[in-house]
A and B are shown apart, each in its own frame.
Chain A
Amino acid sequence: MTAMTKETPLDTVAIRAQFPILSREVHGRPLVYLDNAATTQKPQSVIDALANYYSTMNANIHRGLHTLAEEATAAYEDVRKQVAEFIRASSHREVVFTRNTTESLNLLAYTLGARLRPGDEIVLTSAEHHSNLVPWQLVAQRTGAVLRFIELNDDQQIDVDTARAAINANTRIVSIVHMSNVLGSIAPVAEISEMARSVGATMIVDAAQSAPHLPIDVAELGVDYLAFSAHKMLGPTGVGVLWGRQELLADLDPFLGGGEMISVVTREESSWAALPHKFEAGTPNIADVVAFGAAIEFLNDVGMDAIAAHDADLTGYAVEQLSRLEGLDIYGPSDPAERSAVVAFNYRDIHSHDVATILDRSGIAVRAGHHCAQPLMRTLGVPATARASFYLYNERSEVDALVDGLLEAGERFGFERGA
């Protein structure tokens, strides 16, 4: 560690220098970007990879016989191997590229859902993003399957006991969020996987928030499927990942039909391409997948352990500083070890939209609203929250700016300054 890293395990000065957008101003103030749970900013290497792909090797993949097609195919398939390594998958054939986490989860809901019968149970948590709720509602309506929910415990966390109360012999599918995009809570996935396995249920994890912030080892988690998005981990928009155990993916029917995913096609029927191509119908998002490779390289260079430590440190600091403000409610587990990267809050009686608008005038970007988790908002008993979310380039000084901005919002709404 150098002298610059005394705050957290990361040299944020050096890291920030690689993100061009972080040097821009918003309303005449330096940008303080605290909306990373929505999407992260991109380093120059990712931007360059995208431009470089189109400048030097653009071609359609897998079917061309010319040099460009060969290069583009190799670049695309190399990223599949990178992703497999990143999540410690046993084979790159287990990595399917989709548009986003939502599409990955819809693929599973559609294909696995076709096997469900009335009375079968699908277990979710009460903290799901709509992307891991609505697809299963559609399945339940279609099949007569029943949705059950793992409730939050008193500390606003999914724990083994609340999971045990929801999983039983009728459970066919358990699909849960790894890290909540509102609470920042980290669910005990390995233990819940064990429970799912013991009743013969399929275990799915929405890792949209966790893959960017925690080292992921799919074998260690013991899950059957895992879904996440490139754009929340320095990559471009438009690329999602579905990882699944090879024997399970091989056994699933295709989701979308078309070119690329077939082996032999006659007028009447078709046979499917081998994994993972069976699930990648049509021309994929080649350029963005290639650029995603540069994002993974960036994360690997910094190190996921260091990133996890940095994000946890910053989250702890934010919780500590925000807690000092009178009239500020923070949601999520009280134990800092059980949360990371996200701090949702409400400040006095100021609606989160007003908080967000006022912070924006100080160059501070936060999210406000229901965070695509309306049922969770109802569980928490609030219509909406503000949310600050952090990543590897954020610094403690930005948390301080947030606190300052909140005090200013308080003043505007008639509260005296003074934490």
Chain B
Amino acid sequence: MASNREAQNPVDLDDLYRDVILDHYRSPRNRGVRDDATVSAEGFNPSCGDEIQLSVAIVDGTLNGLGFGGSGCSISQSSASMMTEALSGRTLDSAREMSKHVQQMLTDDTFDLDSVDLGDLEALSGVARFPVRIKCGLLAWKVLDQALANASGEAVNDDSDIPTRVTSG
């Protein structure tokens, strides 16, 4: 039972609301649409209304910069803000790799943080212990996956319940 599990492994609000998260919520980085975007995508959580619009400038296989817009809770918005910082300057492959790891971290509370370097994004590791908030943390990354897939003309195999839509340029 969930209550037994919690007794052995108490979940504290401090695990969720880290200072880094509140900082990005209050002072989001890279807010807005990039003029030089080569691909953009948007997505929302129909059950709660969180939404993210993402624009990415990709040149020669490298993410030169990302901008985001939208509205929602501290988890969804800080996740997007941290993502735009963490991915800027990375190659497509590296960005995909990071997206995979962050999504693993967000959904699996046994994820080994020592196995990868996620920087500030590690602040989101507590989300996995708040099952109803996982989709908030995932939203930006699902939108990113769509945008990157569109950039390379692939289809995304997504079994999440987050509807996303991609537009070019």
Instruction: Using A383-B71, A383-B72, A412-B13 as known contacts, say yes or no to A353 and B22 having CB atoms under 8 A apart.
Output: no
Q: Report yes or no: B72 in contact with A351, Cβ–Cβ below 8 A.
A: yes
Across the interface, do A384 and B74 meet the contact criterion of CB distance under 8 Å? no
- Our pick among B6, B17, B50, B136 for the contact of A412 (Cβ within 8 Å) is B17
**CB proximity to A under 8 Å, residues B105-151:** 130, 132-133, 136
- Whether A353 pairs with B71 at a CB distance below 8 angstroms is no
A305 close to B (CB within 8 Å):
no
- What is the minimal beta-carbon distance from B15 to any residue of chain A, in angstroms? 11
Question: Complex formed: what's the CA distance from A351 to B50 in Å?
Answer: 10
Nearest-Cβ distance from residue A181 to partner chain B, whole angstroms:
16
Could you tell me which A residues sit within 8 Å of B by CB distance?
27, 349-354, 357-358, 361, 368-370, 374, 377, 383-384, 412-414
The reply to whether B22 and A413 contact each other, CB–CB distance below 8 Å, is: yes
Quote the shortest CB–CB distance from B114 to chain A (angstroms): 27
Known: A361-B13, A412-B17. A354 touches B48 (CB 8 A): no
A357 with B133: CB separation less than 8 A = yes
Q: Which 6 residue pairs across A and B have the least CB separation, nearest first? A: A351-B73, A353-B73, A369-B48, A370-B49, A383-B71, A384-B49
A-B contact count (CB 8 A): 48
Interface size class of B (residues with CB under 8 A): 20 to 34
Is A369 a contact of B47 with CB atoms below 8 Å?
A: yes
Known: A354-B73, A357-B130. A369 touches B13 (CB 8 A): no
- Which residues in window 11-32 of B have CB below 8 A to A? 13, 16-17, 22, 26
A20 nearest CB across to chain B (Å): 16
Q: Contact partner of A383 among B17, B49, B133, B136, CB < 8 A?
A: B49
Across-interface contacts of B71 in A (CB, < 8 A)? 383
- By a CB distance below 8 angstroms, the chain A residues around B75 are 353-354
Smallest beta-carbon distance A288→chain B, Å: 25
Q: Which of B34-61 contact A (CB under 8 A)?
A: 47-51
A352 and B71 CA atoms in complex are apart in Å by 12
| A116 CB to nearest chain B CB (Å) | 29
CB of B68 to closest CB in A, whole Å: 16
Residue of B nearest to A384 (CB): B49
